[in-house]
Structure 1
Amino acid sequence: MLVLMLAVNDPAGTAIAFAKALNRHTEHTCRLVTLETRYNHGWDADLHLPDLDEAGLEEVHALLRDADVLHFHMTADEDQPFGPFLPRDHLRGKAVVHHHHGHPDFRGDPDKYRRKYAERNRRNLLVSTPDLLHLLPEARWQPNLVPQDDPRYLPMPGKHPADGSVPDHPVRLTHSPTRKDLKNTDDLLRAVDQLRTEGLHLELDLIDDAPHVECLRRKRRAHILFDHLQGYYGVSSIEGLSQGLPTIAGLDDHNRRHITELTGTTNLPWITTTPRNLPQTLRQLIQNPGLRDKAGHASRRFITTRWTDKQLAIRLAEFLEKC
């Protein structure tokens, strides 16, 4: 089966990660066409329209013609031009998938999309996190993935003293918000200021608009990762868990229930807290290297046993095969 993914931009590099995982772990072929680069994160790309010459455009045309599945990400659909081509002209005999990742337009007016899909009889709908099922209950949750065996996603050894002693260097806390207003960044900064006034040896690495490879390198050096407290988890969480970091996110009961159902375990690795309790949560992790080490091992173990790229690629492939 030939799957053609189409996206205006690739949200957090998730589409290219799915494409690579499908190609690596299933018998299917997946290609990705993108239109724009947003932010300066340097995600990997496949067929990026601004970079294509005439031969590249012909390849896009051939893929539109020959694909078995057109898999649209974010707000893209068949009426979104991709260079000189309109996907609507190539729908005959193809399955169509719509895959949502929490774009502000979708969050702001999900009924607009629900009406569109109902009018077009679209039933192959995916969302990237369980909270989005509230907005599109007809969809299936398809978790984002990371290539956990890639060296950039491996834990960095030697960050925690083998004897459990408190090291001389500061504990490094990392946070990489694409949009600070949506990621509880202000709550984190207040907590860090409070802990510093208490004399705790803490370094905050706030990663802002950095290339993704640099972001991964800096996260890997950290001792603790803070995602956000919005009730769900972000791609940053999955990266941190894979790198063996104690990872803080404010998962709500809805998200925990769906993750438990997917993974078959209630022993989830995220360290959950609230804005009010964040200083206490951080204080415990900073003062206890053994607790950080235990949480980090649990993070990595969860990704390598319950959330591998192969497991999630097969889950997506099984969905696409039924479209």
Structure 2
Amino acid sequence: MRILMLAINDPAGTAIAFANALNRHTEHTCRVVTLETRYTHSWEKDLHVPDLDATGLAEVEYLLETSDIFHFHMTADETLRFGPFLPADYMRGKRIVHHHHGHPDFRGNPGKYSKKYAQLGRTKLLVSTPDLLRLLPEATWQPNLVPNNDPLLLPMGGKPDDPLRIAHSPTRKDLKNTDDLLRALNGLKTQGVHPLLDMIDDVPHSECLRRKRRCHILFDHMQGYYGVSSLEGLSQGLAVVAGLDDWCAGHVRDFSGVEELPWVTASPETLEKTLYNLANDPDRIREIGRASRRFMETAWSERKVAQRLADFYTA
């Protein structure tokens, strides 16, 4: 099947990651059309409308005409204009997929979207993390993926234990428990523990991955679910700290088939103690890192996640 992903902007580079994985591991072909660049992370692009000349726009039109599936990300739909083209004009015979990634309007008004899809008879609905199933229970959870054999997502060998490095890459600090992390690190200092924090912000994604690889611990966030940052850290063989709740962990166990998940779970109340224990046990950090990488190779591989999405399209 020919899939065309359409998005205002590519959320955390997930659309292009899915497209690359589908093209690598399935019989389907997938392309991505985007309208805007947000942040300065330099995600890989496919057909980015502001960059296209007349020939590029002609290719967009060809894909709109010939694709079998329109896969809309975030709040995009057929009424969103992509340059001179309106997807609504090319809907005949297309399967329509709506894929939500936690946009604030969706989180704040899930009923609006549920009602809209019911009225339109749209049933091919995806959410990117299990917590969003609470907002759109008629959807299917489609795990995000990372290309786990990319050199920047492989574990770094020969990394010294000292100094201990903790990575944190919050796109939005208010949503990523950054203040809780800083509080916990200040508490560690009073106990004579002084890890180095690499606060990775506003840099290209490749630079972000290079800096994460040099660290021993990755702090994602404690919002009850995991982010793409978690998956990157697990692939790199880091000890990944996040606040997965029972709901999210249960869905992850069902998908992965693994009962003991590699995340180091913490809450704002336990984060300082969690980091203290890790800082004083480098052997445990290495053990967790090996389990993290093994999990991504066997239970959450790019191929496995891409096939799940391919199966969703054809079901």
TM-score (norm 2): 0.99
1:207 partner amino acid: I
* CA deviation after TM superposition for structure 1 residue 209, in Å: 1.1
* CA deviation after TM superposition for structure 1 residue 199, in Å: 1.6
- Once the two structures are superposed, the pairs formed by residues 111-260 of structure 1 within 5 Å of their partners are 111-159=111-159, 167=161, 169-260=162-253
Secondary structure of the 2:223 match is coil
Cα RMSD, aligned residues only: 0.7
What percent of counterpart residues are identical? Answer: 65
Partner residue of 1:104?
A: 104
Distance across 1 between alignment mates of 2:260 and 2:245? 15
- Once the two structures are superposed, residues 81-117 of structure 1 have per-residue CA deviations (whole angstroms, 9 ceiling, x without a partner) of 0010000001100000000000111001011100110
* CA deviation after TM superposition for structure 1 residue 177, in Å: 0.5
Secondary structure of the 2:249 match is helix
Distance across 1 between alignment mates of 2:202 and 2:133? 29
For these two proteins, the number of residue pairs brought into alignment is 315
* CA deviation after TM superposition for structure 1 residue 159, in Å: 2.1
- Once the two structures are superposed, residues 207-257 of structure 1 have per-residue CA deviations (whole angstroms, 9 ceiling, x without a partner) of 111110010000000010000001000000000000000000110010011
* Greater CA drift, 191-200 or 292-301: 191-200
Distance across 1 between alignment mates of 2:84 and 2:122? 25
2:55 matches 1:62: no
Secondary structure of the 1:5 match is strand
* CA deviation after TM superposition for structure 1 residue 196, in Å: 1.4
Secondary structure of the 2:185 match is helix
Structure 1 residue runs of 5 or longer lacking an equivalent are 161-166
Q: 2:257 aligns with which of 264, 268, 282?
A: 264
2:282 matches 1:289: yes
Distance across 1 between alignment mates of 2:137 and 2:230? 24
* CA deviation after TM superposition for structure 1 residue 321, in Å: 1.3
Partner residue of 2:93?
A: 93
Distance across 2 between alignment mates of 1:267 and 1:278? 20
2:300 matches 1:307: yes
Structure 2 residue runs of 5 or longer lacking an equivalent are none
1:290 partner amino acid: D
Secondary structure of the 2:196 match is strand
Secondary structure of the 2:143 match is coil
Partner residue of 1:273?
A: 266
Which aligned runs of 4 or more in structure 1 are off by greater than 4 angstroms? none
* Greater CA drift, 52-61 or 257-266: 257-266
* CA deviation after TM superposition for structure 1 residue 197, in Å: 2.2
